[in-house]
Structure 1
Amino acid sequence: MESMVSENEEATESDVRFPTVLRGYDRRQVDEYVRATEKRVERQEKARRAAERRIAKAQVPAPRTVESDQSRGLGRRIEKILAVAKAEAEEIKDQARKESERLVAAAEKTAVEAENAREQTERAAECEAQRIISRAEEEAVAIRTVHRAVMAELGQISHAVDELRDRFGGESKAEDSAEEEPEAASAVSTDGE
């Protein structure tokens, strides 16, 4: 008969927690999965203990008396019950072992799937970030090009304005001084009269 797991060991196993890491698993999903696994293992453990109790009860020593035909039949019956109980206990142990192996395999598969999903999400996020950066860089280049063109055009406009000012500003001074001279001449002639 296998030794039973103590209550302290059960408490320790049920308190298992996974550390939270930057690139780890979803803590809530892992905790839920572990709780479900613990419940299954607990049910299997209860069934195993019940089978062991049935075996222990069936192994009560027969009283030492003179065996009659009835007692021989009873002894054989008890032996059959013990054999059936042992077979049931072995079957329950096998089922518990298979269930735990299945649960471990499922947990490993879930972990691999979670890691793959995380990697895919990370790759998609990196691609999206790269696309956004590329678009921003293209827009920045376009803005710089437009800015240079606008600045060049403003320079040309400023230069043209300066030329026009020089051309028309100089003529306007000459016209102003020509207009002042006849007025001065008419003022002199009126004074001289």
Structure 2
Amino acid sequence: MENTVSEPETLPESDVRFPIVLRGYDRRQVDEYVRVAEKRVDRHEKARRVAERRLAKAQVPAPRAAEPDGAAGLGKRIEKILQVAKSEAAEIKEQARKESEALLAAAEKTAAEAERAREETERAAQRDAQLVISRAEEEAAAIRAAHRAVLGQLSRIADGVEELRVRYAGETGTETGTVTEEEQPETADSVPAPA
């Protein structure tokens, strides 16, 4: 007699909750749930095959020769037992098929939900990235405009300074860039010491 694999049931499908992580489900938890669901399906499939093998072993061809009177009752009881066994095997097989279909449907639904959540997270991340890029481009444009304005002001100041230098040099009658002895700043050596 074969033993079926007994593995403790985790949670019924109705009790499964996935925590939401970054606008979606935790991928590892969803993968784990799908893995457990596949194990359940495999376990039910093994149980179905075991039941079918037992049923095949239990089916004994009816004897062709006439049975003695004492064995006639025994043959009917065996036939009844076989009918009950067939009926139970069919019920087990049907139940395993239904559970397998339910688990597979739940796993497909969970996978579809996880995929939708992943796509939504990806779209949200792309929107956020585009927003950051747009803001950065706006700030860069503002900085470039401010830089051009400062350069323009510096250019006007330099032109004004040059104009003043030329005018000052023209009023004093000196060449541009030459400093007379009178215009030289006093140094510590040229200042008379106090008496």
TM-score of the two chains, using structure 2 as the length reference: 0.65
- Alignment deviations for residues 124-165 of structure 1 (CA, whole Å, 9 cap, x no partner): 111111111111111112101211210111011111101110
In structure 1, distance between residues paired with 2:123 and 2:35: 31
Q: How does 1:165-184 map to 2 (within 5 A)?
A: 165-173=165-173
Change (3 A) 1:126 1:38: closer
The structure with the largest helix share of the pair is 1
SS in 2 for 1:53: helix
Cα contact 1:51–1:85 (8 A) shared by 2: no
Q: How does 1:112-131 map to 2 (within 5 A)?
A: 112-131=112-131
**Which region of structure 1 is more displaced relative to structure 2, 101-110 or 151-160?**
101-110
SS in 2 for 1:95: helix
Q: Which runs of 5+ in 1 are unaligned?
A: 1-25, 180-193
Matched, 1:67 2:53: no
Larger relative contact order (Cα-Cα within 8 Å, sequence gap ≥ 6): 2
Cα contact 1:51–1:88 (8 A) shared by 2: no
Change (3 A) 1:91 1:121: same
Match of 1:137 in 2: 137
Identity fraction in percent: 68
Shift of 1:174: 5.3
Shift of 1:121: 1.2
**Which region of structure 1 is more displaced relative to structure 2, 168-177 or 141-150?**
168-177
Q: How does 1:92-131 map to 2 (within 5 A)?
A: 92-131=92-131
In structure 2, distance between residues paired with 1:82 and 1:164: 121
Cα contact 1:59–1:82 (8 A) shared by 2: yes
- Alignment deviations for residues 80-131 of structure 1 (CA, whole Å, 9 cap, x no partner): 2111111111112112211221122122212211221121111111111111
Match of 2:14 in 1: none
Aligned-pair Cα RMSD in Å = 3.1
In structure 1, distance between residues paired with 2:145 and 2:53: 87
Match of 2:146 in 1: 146
Quick one: which amino acid aligns to residue 146 of structure 2? V
In structure 2, distance between residues paired with 1:167 and 1:109: 86
Change (3 A) 1:171 1:66: closer
**Which region of structure 1 is more displaced relative to structure 2, 89-98 or 47-56?**
47-56
Shift of 1:28: 7.1
In structure 2, distance between residues paired with 1:47 and 1:37: 15
Cα contact 2:51–2:89 (8 A) shared by 1: yes
SS in 2 for 1:60: coil
Largest Rg, 1 or 2: 1
SS in 1 for 2:165: helix
Shift of 1:30: 8.3
In structure 1, distance between residues paired with 2:68 and 2:43: 41
Change (3 A) 1:48 1:171: same
TM-score of the two chains, using structure 1 as the length reference: 0.65
